[in-house]
Structure 1
Amino acid sequence: MEISTNFLSKSKPQIPHFLILPWLASGHLIPATDIAHLLAEHNASVTILTTPVNAARIKPTIDRFNAASAGDISLVSLNFPATEFGLPEGCENIDLLPSFPLVYNFYNTTKLFGQQVARYIHEQVPHVSCIIGGMGYVWVPDMARKLGVPCFIFHGFGSFALYCWEILHKTKAHEIPDSDAELFNIPGLPFEFKIARKELPMHFQQSSKEIAEEMRNSEVSVDGILVNSFEQLEPGYAGLLQKNSGKKVFTIGPVSLCNTTRLDMEERGNKSTVDSDQCIEWLNSKKSNSVVYVCFGSTGNFAPKQFKELGLGLLASPWPSVWVINSIEKLPDEMLIWLRENFEEKSSSKILLIKGWAPQIAILSHPSVGGFVTHCGWNSTLESVAAGVPIVAWPLYSEQFLNVKLIVDVLKIGVSVGVGEAMAWRGENEEDARVKKEDVVRAIEKLMNGDEERRRVSELKEKAKLALEKGGSSFLNLENLIQFGAPTI
């Protein structure tokens, strides 16, 4: 167990002290670390409590911040009892799970982890004034009540998706009696939004009903909701969410903009598996707005047929690209041979392969990058907006189909690749390719030759910066959050 010496110190009880418990997935851990950074910049004391594997991923970033700014962020790690629930040793993050069925083992392990957290907090006699809990930690609200402090939940989703989520919970519009493929309209929106049940997050699928109910019961007992977004990106939806949920809602993003040094950009969330200097040198050799960045998040993997169609589409496209491939060790040998023969040996000047963790915001921020083929996870969406890069929307699962509606039809900052339904988690048991080579080429061509999407996202980029500057909407919401979580004297 690693404990920072200034954790829960009694010396400064008058300063707001936020305890952040990030959900154990990269898409939650990374923005939670950025939130800690922003709170500390606003003169709050912050502790992040997580597991050893996850703490190791974010420790360099926290150490740099504390050293550079005399910041007050502490990092604590407690043992994660993975093997007690049939998980491999060290399986402490969703992106380390070998297969989807183990998600349920992982979820149950987090409950035992919560018991350790509660004991540790009790033993330390903490001066915590506010808790920010990850979406899967159903035990956090009860712990906050026992401490007598307010509790916020951080889902990692945007205001629009969370509002749709809230409406579905209340109206049950998705509970269609017949076909999973039947479209239904999400009510309560200023436009028609028809979606299939199979495109909804797992919380609305029958197979996840028990966990979904448990998580929902936890959600309704929190005091507020933190959203990594800004008012100008999703105007009105934070207000609708607050009105319909009855919870305080604070939009405080884009939190990724707190990373301003090259090293923080390159090592955000994990150490890059590519030589950063070589990557930047490769990008420097390309024309402005000419490169397509292709990445599907930490768990966005494809089955071989779909993987090959994507690769063929990138080869056939006239635009150079950076292609990030996660979990490459899970690809069959014939795919590895195909990759080597068609990309590493023939196309090194046109396509840069990154096998593993990529320095995403550093790449997106480079002037040569002009488009982003993405799964539309909310972190990637916001990072693209903050960099002024338009999107080719290729949703896989979770709330990503909700995000596509916002990106393509509402904000008009991207084009759709044409996916018709959600993919199995990590492409498990997927036989056919849902998106063909021609679809990839068409979508990239439309985006890279278009002006409207680029103009719109460039305007949002400027608004994103202003939101976090003094007097901006996110800046003021951070100040209000700190006041809300200030200790009662």
Structure 2
Amino acid sequence: MVNSTSELVFIPAPWVGHIMSTIEIAKLLVNRDNHLSITVLLINPPPTFGWSFAVTTYIQSLAKTKIDRITFINLPQDKNSSVSKVPMATLTDCINNHCKYVRKIVAHKMSQPVPGLGKVVAFVVDMFCTGMIDVANEFNIPTYVFFTSNAAFLGFKLYIQTLSDDKNQDVVELSNSDSKIPVPCFIKPVPTKVFPATCHTQEGLEFVLRSARKLRDAKAIIVNTFLELETHAIDSLSKEKTVPMVYPVGPILNLEAGAGKASSNDDIITWLDTQPPSSVVFLCFGSMGSFDEVQLKEIANGLERSGHRFLWSLRRPPSDQTTTAPSDYEDPGTVLPEGFLERTAGIGKVTGWVPQVAVLGHDAVGGFVSHCGWNSLLESLWFGVPSAAWPIYAEQQLNAFEMVVELGLAVEIKMDYKKDFVNQKANKVVVTTEEIESGIRRLMEDYKLRKKMKEIREKSIATVAEGGSSYASVGRLIKDLKLNLL
């Protein structure tokens, strides 16, 4: 008799945001089908990575977490990772060095099934863990990729690979040109200035190409997006014969993110409680977002000149970009214009780390100056808070282009801004007071945008409810996963 339960092996990339998203979709799947069980294999990043301490601390906390039919296994830390000029390539090498641990765990599960649990029927791996597809293939187990970004970026990566491998296009030369090119997953031509920084060097491009090729080896790709948001991108992917099946299942959000820290930030929520509805512009640039003193003064001046109320999450740049993440200032006044804090005391609040979900969900917040990380954008859509795009790294420039130009769901502050984490001295671009003031005014005073955001908020909530498109897509995914049991 065939065991009626099915076990999935999940492998998230070692970022807190990626692990959180993985846990959320794992919870969604086991809650939708009580014949599924999931083992999450957790990878610790190299100690030299800026976010390693935060990830390691979070992974340790998961050891105490009890979720029905979800088990966490902390893999041994690998200390033999190579170092590349492309940080993501270094991280990918680290992840691939854990294949031996994954292979051993899965072999044990296959040879000695746990009573009450079924056999392993699929791997579900993060978009940066596609090297694990080779391990799954050794056991004749299919692999599903959990793509934590959007459908447009997925289509972009695959198209870049097509340009390079099939059409012999010099993508590095193209990326460094000042032009626009048609990309199937976008309605409008995409400026090369918003291409990810990895496309601008040969070494970076090789990382993108390897990643894209492996994506095509997956049985299916699960994308944290929804049909009503990215209709064109999802349709274009479905028409590509060489692209695996795509399941849009989002928005997958951790709406309790940061709740454990919220007690130490009660003053933030208390301050917001005293502000008028939709009056506050919230500035937050993600876990790795920070600026030098010159840029901070421009931001402060732009805020002050806009006249709008603000909540600013101000982070101090690390002294060593390769080993330390941004931290909080003991005294932010030391890097801000003289008298700024005193002059804006009645309308503004400068703080360090913030509980972003709680802030975006507060009635007083009317705009979000964002680095355009995909999780942050999905959160802003969920709460109906319009964004002003100020991307920093990774695919955030493309996210900004999609939100501002393609979908009209955000305004621009500096859509093509890029921060060079490898060569800090090369990063000379300063966003001016005038650009910041203009962006904030448009963000807070564009009532058509505000109305559009309310509409997409309703769609984002409806799509995950019973009868919604993402709800249905999750149902199809579960059926597909369980077919592997046969």
TM-score normalised by the chain length of structure 1: 0.83
SS of match in other structure, 1:76: strand
Contact 2:386–2:450, Cα closer than 8 Å, also in 1: yes
Q: Does 1:286 align with 2:275?
A: yes
Q: 1:483 to 1:204 in 2, by over 3 A?
A: farther
Contact 1:114–1:137, Cα closer than 8 Å, also in 2: no
Question: 2:415 and 2:400 mapped to 1: Cα distance?
Answer: 10
Deviation string for 1:453-478 (max 9, x for gaps)? 11111101011111111121111111
Matches within 5 A, 1:36-185: 36-43=26-33, 44-51=36-43, 54=55, 56-57=57-58, 66=67, 71-82=68-79, 84-85=80-81, 103-125=88-110, 127-172=119-164, 175=171, 177=173, 180-185=176-181
Question: 2:377 and 2:151 mapped to 1: Cα distance?
Answer: 13
RMSD: 3.2
Compare 358-367 and 236-245 and name the one that shifted more. 236-245
Q: Does 1:17 align with 2:23?
A: no
Q: 1:352 aligns with which of 349, 354, 358?
A: 349
Equivalent AA in structure 2 for residue 249 of structure 1: V
Q: 1:431 to 1:151 in 2, by over 3 A?
A: closer
Matched-pair identity in %: 24
Cα deviation, residue 243, structure 1: 2.5
Equivalent AA in structure 2 for residue 123 of structure 1: H
Equivalent AA in structure 2 for residue 250 of structure 1: Y
Compare 413-422 and 200-209 and name the one that shifted more. 200-209
SS of match in other structure, 1:238: helix
Question: 1:65 and 1:448 mapped to 2: Cα distance?
Answer: 42
Deviation string for 1:187-215 (max 9, x for gaps)? 43574314125733515642313333332
Matches within 5 A, 1:335-414: 337-339=334-336, 347-356=344-353, 358-414=354-410
Question: 2:176 and 2:410 mapped to 1: Cα distance?
Answer: 27
Q: Does 1:324 align with 2:313?
A: yes
Cα deviation, residue 34, structure 1: 1.4
- Residue 455 of structure 1 is matched in structure 2 by 451
Cα deviation, residue 421, structure 1: 4.6
Gaps of 5+ in 2: 45-52, 114-118, 320-325
Equivalent AA in structure 2 for residue 39 of structure 1: L
Contact 1:394–1:416, Cα closer than 8 Å, also in 2: yes
Q: 1:273 to 1:155 in 2, by over 3 A?
A: same
Deviation string for 1:60-100 (max 9, x for gaps)? 6896773xxxx322111112224x3478xxxxxxxxxxx97
Compare 317-326 and 327-336 and name the one that shifted more. 327-336
Q: 1:72 to 1:327 in 2, by over 3 A?
A: farther
Equivalent AA in structure 1 for residue 123 of structure 2: I
Cα deviation, residue 229, structure 1: 0.8
Contact 2:171–2:199, Cα closer than 8 Å, also in 1: no
Compare 326-335 and 217-226 and name the one that shifted more. 326-335
What is the aligned length? 454
Q: 1:179 to 1:479 in 2, by over 3 A?
A: closer
SS of match in other structure, 2:425: coil
Deviation string for 1:30-79 (max 9, x for gaps)? 2212111211221232222113663642676896773xxxx322111112
Cα deviation, residue 165, structure 1: 2.4
Q: 1:479 aligns with which of 453, 475, 479?
A: 475
Q: 1:78 to 1:177 in 2, by over 3 A?
A: closer
SS of match in other structure, 1:429: helix
Question: 1:336 and 1:100 mapped to 2: Cα distance?
Answer: 35
Q: 2:425 aligns with which of 418, 423, 429?
A: 429
Contact 1:26–1:298, Cα closer than 8 Å, also in 2: no
SS of match in other structure, 1:57: helix
Equivalent AA in structure 1 for residue 147 of structure 2: H
Contact 1:303–1:430, Cα closer than 8 Å, also in 2: no
Equivalent AA in structure 2 for residue 15 of structure 1: T
Larger RCO (CA within 8 A; separation ≥ 6): 1
Q: 1:178 to 1:163 in 2, by over 3 A?
A: closer
Q: 1:371 to 1:236 in 2, by over 3 A?
A: same
- Residue 214 of structure 2 is matched in structure 1 by 218
Deviation string for 1:337-358 (max 9, x for gaps)? 22496566664553333323x3
Question: 1:86 and 1:336 mapped to 2: Cα distance?
Answer: 40
Q: 1:212 to 1:160 in 2, by over 3 A?
A: closer
Question: 2:208 and 2:296 mapped to 1: Cα distance?
Answer: 31
Cα deviation, residue 369, structure 1: 0.6
Question: 1:79 and 1:176 mapped to 2: Cα distance?
Answer: 37
Contact 1:378–1:403, Cα closer than 8 Å, also in 2: yes
Equivalent AA in structure 2 for residue 294 of structure 1: L
Q: 1:122 to 1:178 in 2, by over 3 A?
A: closer
Cα deviation, residue 485, structure 1: 0.8
Q: 1:144 to 1:354 in 2, by over 3 A?
A: farther
Question: 1:426 and 1:447 mapped to 2: Cα distance?
Answer: 32
Question: 2:376 and 2:175 mapped to 1: Cα distance?
Answer: 32
Deviation string for 1:211-249 (max 9, x for gaps)? 333323322211111111111111132231133243110
TM-score normalised by the chain length of structure 2: 0.84
SS of match in other structure, 1:246: coil
- Residue 304 of structure 2 is matched in structure 1 by 315
Equivalent AA in structure 2 for residue 170 of structure 1: T
